Every structure is written in C-alpha cells, then in structure tokens.
Structure 1
C-alpha cells in the first residue's frame, strides 16, 4: 500500500507565516505595517469568524501585488525562498528528506500560502514533492490580485488531496499540521501529527 505524506507549510515546516514574511521581503517593513493597519478591521472580523478567511487574505494580497507582472513576482518568490531558508524547521526538513527516499511514498505540501513562493523552498530537496497551494489569477502576464482556487485551508485541504487521490482505501495517509486550518486534514489521516517538529517546545 502506498503512503501519502501530507505536510502543512506555515507553522509546521516553517517558524513564521510566510505570507507576512514574503510581503516584508518584497515590499519592506513600513509598507507591510501600513497595509496591515489599513486592513486591521477586516482581520479582526476574520479572527472573530465574522468575515471569510479567504476573502480577507485575497484583499490583503491584492492590495500588495495586483498589477505586478508574473515574471517579476516569480523572481521575487525564488529570491525569497533562497534568502530565507532559516524559516524552515530543521526537524521538519529532516523528516521530509527521509520520506522522499521511500520509493512507495507520495509527498505533498498542502498550504494556504500561494504556491509560487512555496515551491522554490523544496526545489533543492526533491522534484518528487508536490505543492498544493492557493493559486493566483494572471491575465495578460500580470497578477489580478484574485485567487483562482479556493484558499487551501481547512476542509479545502482535504478536497484538494481527494481530487488528486480519490481512492482513499488505496493508500495510508500520514499528515502533519499545526493550526485550526489543518484540523480536517489531520482528522482525515490514518496518522495525524500536531506541531510535530518543534524541538524547543
């Protein structure tokens, strides 16, 4: 029986939320602060579950990146990953490197983050790793600021996995997560690990 290893990214394999760190990297700390100050009422409503998570995230993303060319955005994503390896948890990467060596395994990163900046973190580890992230809309070579997939959070993580691998009885699912957004994925797994790679906690 095949084994599917499904890893959350932000907080599980990283020490920080990479959306915030990517904005800081690409726009600077001052613009990051101003943007989050502008959207603070929305973000508070989101935390209170009075405004959809995906819609708040899309509005923030759009404010920072609408109109940026896809080529420029992708260059930023690669540079961000190359210059921020310290965000990765060593124990998580060690586990990832271990499971990709298993010829019977399928390795997924299932993340609410935009896959354009998630993928480059794993290019040097193994091309076998598949990233299922939130995908962005591009028209005429430029970002519209909108998402073309649902925010890959909560039940959507399970839906994206089942869309690729619908025959649930044909594989063992081992999942790793750290937050409310991973609850459904961990419950769906044969083995679910919550906050597994935090050596100092």
Structure 2
C-alpha cells in the first residue's frame, strides 16, 4: 500500500505499531545488550553463541529458544532492580537515536488526532515501556521471568511474535469498537497483526533517523 504521510485520522481509531525495524532502524534487544554489557563483551559473546545462531538461522531452534539462550548468556543472575535501571537509562539516552524520523512523525500524527496508539513488540517490555509512558502510549511486549529478584533469562509465557501478537491484541481490545484500525510492521511475523487492520502498512518508513 502506498503510504500517505499527510493523512487525517478518525478519533475513533487505534493504531498498532511493531517496534524493532518499524519504528527503529535496529534491533533494540541487541543494542540493549551492548549497552548493558559493553560492546567488547557483547561481540566476544557472539563467538561463544555462534553454534546457537547457526542453528537458529537453519531453523533448528525456535525464535523463543534462541532469544532465551541469548538473554541467559548476557543477563542471567543480574538483579532485576539493576536491569530495570539499565533499561530506563537506555530508553532515555540511546533509544531516541534509533528511531526512524518518518515513523515518529506518523506516530505523533496519530496521537494528535486522538488515535489510541499501541506498541506491539517481541522485544522485552523493560526498555520499551519507559519510552511509551512518556507519551501515554500502551505497550504489549514480551515479558521476562524474574526469580528471587534476579533475571533468569527465560521468557514469561510466549514470545510476543507472529500470532502471539494477535492473541495479545484481541485479549486487550475489542476491535469492533473502532471504526479505523491501523497496523504497521516490517517482517513476515507482523503479517498476522496487519491482517487485523482496516488499513495496514508493511515496511512503510524510509531509513531516515532523527
């Protein structure tokens, strides 16, 4: 669908935005891990994790399993309070540079036109939610398990990806209440979410950053 940046929106509408790759130019999980552990340690870890990454690319293990292995490797045992502090710092200092300018322009236009905006992401909510709260934006995202006050590296429930995005959306929202439903995504995993929309946009934003 051709994208129209000058479009006006109904106030009885809702817009669902994928986060990584749609609003941002990079995978924010990777950027968060670099921020939390330092680039040297992060890239050294990729060497250790290379068999897992190869298995994931060959589709021998699921996205959720691969994500949990990576999260466990870098974060397991970190106090949850420390992790939350790192995520808030990342959201405030590093996340803004990762956003695509046209994507933020579109998101802000929705907000100005009283469209309810919801971020729906497979990345953990820990650094997305602090950003969303600044603008009264709702957030549906993957949740991490915490045990005894520490990060376990495991995901609570299912990774918020593909059909799981649809399940979460339908659990929280009665879409029959909205005259317009917008959805934005950039990968095949976003297609189930886009199928819910009255107007969907696949890879709509250019590689321009703020």
TM more than 0.5: yes
Query: Which residue in the other structure is 2:39 paired with?
Result: 29
Alignment of 1:196 with 2:207, yes or no, is: no
Deviations 1:80-103 (A, max 9, x none): 111111101111111111112233
Query: Which residue in the other structure is 1:168 paired with?
Result: 175
Alignment of 1:69 with 2:79, yes or no, is: yes
The counterpart of 2:98, out of the listed 87, 93, 101, is: 87
Structure 1 position 196, deviation (Å): 1.4
Relative to structure 1, the CA distance from residue 163 to residue 35 in structure 2 (aligned partners, 3 Å threshold; closer, same or farther) is same
Deviations 1:124-147 (A, max 9, x none): 3x12x1111110111222111111
Decide whether the 8 Å contact of 1:35 with 1:60 is kept in 2.
no
The counterpart of 2:109, out of the listed 82, 98, 103, is: 98
The counterpart of 1:119, out of the listed 120, 129, 135, is: 129
Matches of 2:61 and 2:175, distance apart in 1: 33
Matches of 2:189 and 2:43, distance apart in 1: 24
Matches of 1:149 and 1:2, distance apart in 2: 32
Query: Which residue in the other structure is 1:130 paired with?
Result: 138
Query: Which residue in the other structure is 1:154 paired with?
Result: 162
Question: What TM-score does the superposition give when structure 2 sets the normalisation length?
Answer: 0.87
User: Over the residues paired in the alignment, what is the CA RMSD in angstroms?
Assistant: 1.6
Aligned residues: 196
Relative to structure 1, the CA distance from residue 168 to residue 123 in structure 2 (aligned partners, 3 Å threshold; closer, same or farther) is closer
Matches of 1:38 and 1:13, distance apart in 2: 30
**Any gaps of 5 or more consecutive residues in structure 2?**
1-10
Matches of 1:47 and 1:118, distance apart in 2: 26
Runs of 4+ in structure 1 displaced over 3 angstroms? Answer: none
Query: Which residue in the other structure is 1:184 paired with?
Result: 192
Deviations 1:141-171 (A, max 9, x none): 2111111131111111111101111x33332
Matches of 1:198 and 1:123, distance apart in 2: 25
Structure 1 position 34, deviation (Å): 2.1
